[in-house]
């Protein structure tokens, strides 16, 4: 017999999923749900063969001691970001003494419906959803899970979230490079286009446009799956008559190839070309010269996510909160900071 979900039980009894969840998790009296209603829910659950998830059992065993939080991680996010994200969790648990248990659950970007049992059966106290697509958000709104949900790096008025301003990322990068005298610039973006990458690119191009600088289409390069394609594009870009004096790249994975080409053609960084990346990774410190970046403050964002989700779990929040965390420059050797006025 297929497992019956909380949502399906709710539809059968014409009750809300949260009411079903409270009763099945032993919180019916606490939430002042009528005894008769509780009895109907329990009887139908037994008759329908409802079986709680193993995590749900653990939640009932220790509801006040430790919150179990699911981390839904999308397929398109880099391994470097995973390291920083879970380092942020580690620091928050130890330094802020946050009493949580974290369960990592990967999902295919734009296919969050494939892990629907998480939302239908409320198997965690709460969930942090990382980098959801428009399709993922639409699906979550459709199923209306009663679990507390916080988005990491995705803003939506119907959910709490912790984000950076992606448009401002592009603005800040353009402001720095223009302030350093660069008018012949190039932009490198990841191979997968998302709303985040689109906003960063728009912020960068719009800001230079306001300064009277229109970046040529051939100076915008998308990272390709085929290394040889990028190699050909970069060589053409860097050795042409109108070669850029600065590059802003929002993907760090192309940097080893870029540095290889710069070394081969004896293009000096930062003397001939300044390089600025986005989101700090261990690679940035290993490159020679070390890469300057506009950093996404992952660890601070994680701390905010955990605090939000715990406040929601404990009933301290009656409204959605959208927290915008500021980016900051990490200036190393490949690009200088703002000139002194």
What does the pLDDT look like over 75-110, one tens digit per residue?
877 777 888 899 999 988 888 777 888 989 888 888
Task: Give dist(CA 190, CA 131) in Å, integer.
Answer: 15
Asked whether the predicted pLDDT for residue 324 surpasses 70, the reply is: yes
Give me the count of residues in the chain.
341
**105-123 mean pLDDT:** 83
Highest mean pLDDT range out of 69-73, 98-102, 117-121? 69-73
DSSP letters spanning 152-193: ES---TTSEEEE--HHHHHHHHHHHHHHTT--SEEEEE-SS-
Is it true that domain 53-164+301-327 has CATH number 3.60.15.10?
A: no
How many whole angstroms separate alpha carbon 334 and alpha carbon 247?
A: 10
Domain 1-51 fold is 434 Repressor (Amino-terminal Domain) (1.10.260)
| pLDDT tens readout for residues 242-286 | 999 999 999 888 999 999 999 999 999 999 999 999 999 888 999
Residue 295, pLDDT score = 94
Give span(s): CATH 3.40.50.2300, the chain: 53-164+301-327, 166-295
pLDDT at position 30? 65
According to CATH, what is the number of the domain 166-295?
3.40.50.2300
For residue 125, which of 30, 41, 55 has the smallest C-alpha distance? 55
Spatial distance between the Cα atoms of 306 and 80, rounded to a whole number of angstroms: 20
Handedness of CA 43, 44, 46, 51 (dihedral sign): negative
| CB 339 within 8 Å of CB 179 | yes
Highest mean pLDDT pick, 41-50, 201-210, 318-327: 201-210
In sequence order, what DSSP letters do the residues of 40-100 get, joined into one string? HHHHHHHHTT----HHHHHHHHSTTT-EEEEEEEETTS-HHHHHHHHHHHHHHHHHS---E
Q: How confident is the model at residue 63 (pLDDT cuts 50, 70, 90)?
A: very low
- Stronger pLDDT, 151 or 23, i.e. the higher one: 151
Q: Is 295 helix (H, G, I), strand (E, B) or coil?
A: strand
Whole-number pLDDT of residue 189: 92
- Rounded CA gap, 248 and 187, in Å? 5
pLDDT at position 2 is: 56
Helix 227-239 vs helix 255-264: crossing angle, to nearest 10: 50
Q: If you average pLDDT over every residue of the chain, what do you get?
A: 86
Of 286, 269, 280, 278, give the one whose Cα is nearest residue 333.
Answer: 269
**Distance (Å, rounded) from C-alpha 284 to C-alpha 288?**
9
Per-residue model confidence (pLDDT) at position 188 = 95
CATH 1.10.260.40 domain position(s) in the chain: 1-51
């Amino acid at each position: 017999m297929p497992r019956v979900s909380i949502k399906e039980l709710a539809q059968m009894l014409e009750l809300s999923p949260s009411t079903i969840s409270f009763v099945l998790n032993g919180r019916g009296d606490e939430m002042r749900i009528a005894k008769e209603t509780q009895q109907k829910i329990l009887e139908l659950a037994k008759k329908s063969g409802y079986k709680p998830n193993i995590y749900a059992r653990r939640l009932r065993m220790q509801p006040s001691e430790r919150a179990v939080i699911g981390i839904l991680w999308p397929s398109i996010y880099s391994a470097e970001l995973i390291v920083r994200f879970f380092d942020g969790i580690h620091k928050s648990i130890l330094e802020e003494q946050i009493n949580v248990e974290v369960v990592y659950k990967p999902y295919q970007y734009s296919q969050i419906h494939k892990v629907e049992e998480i939302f239908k059966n409320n198997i965690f106290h709460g969930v942090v959803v990382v980098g959801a697509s428009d399709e993922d958000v639409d699906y979550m709104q459709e199923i209306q899970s009663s679990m507390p949900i916080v988005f990491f790096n995705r803003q939506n008025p119907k959910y709490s979230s912790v984000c950076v301003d992606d448009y401002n990322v592009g603005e800040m990068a353009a402001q720095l490079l223009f302030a350093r005298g660069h008018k012949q610039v190039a932009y490198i973006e990841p191979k997968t286009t998302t709303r985040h990458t689109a906003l960063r690119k728009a912020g960068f191009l719009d800001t230079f446009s306001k300064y009277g600088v229109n970046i040529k289409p051939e100076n915008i390069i998308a990272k390709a799956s085929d290394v040889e394609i990028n190699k050909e594009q970069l060589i053409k870009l860097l050795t042409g008559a109108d070669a850029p004096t600065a590059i802003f790249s929002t993907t760090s994975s192309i940097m080893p190839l870029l540095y290889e080409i710069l070394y081969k053609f004896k293009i000096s960084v930062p003397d001939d070309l300044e390089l600025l990346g986005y989101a700090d990774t261990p690679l940035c410190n290993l490159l020679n010269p070390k890469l300057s970046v506009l950093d996404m403050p992952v660890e601070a964002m994680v701390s905010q996510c955990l605090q939000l989700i715990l406040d929601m779990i404990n009933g301290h929040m009656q409204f959605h909160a959208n927290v915008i965390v500021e980016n900051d420059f990490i200036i190393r050797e490949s690009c200088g900071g703002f000139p002194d006025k």
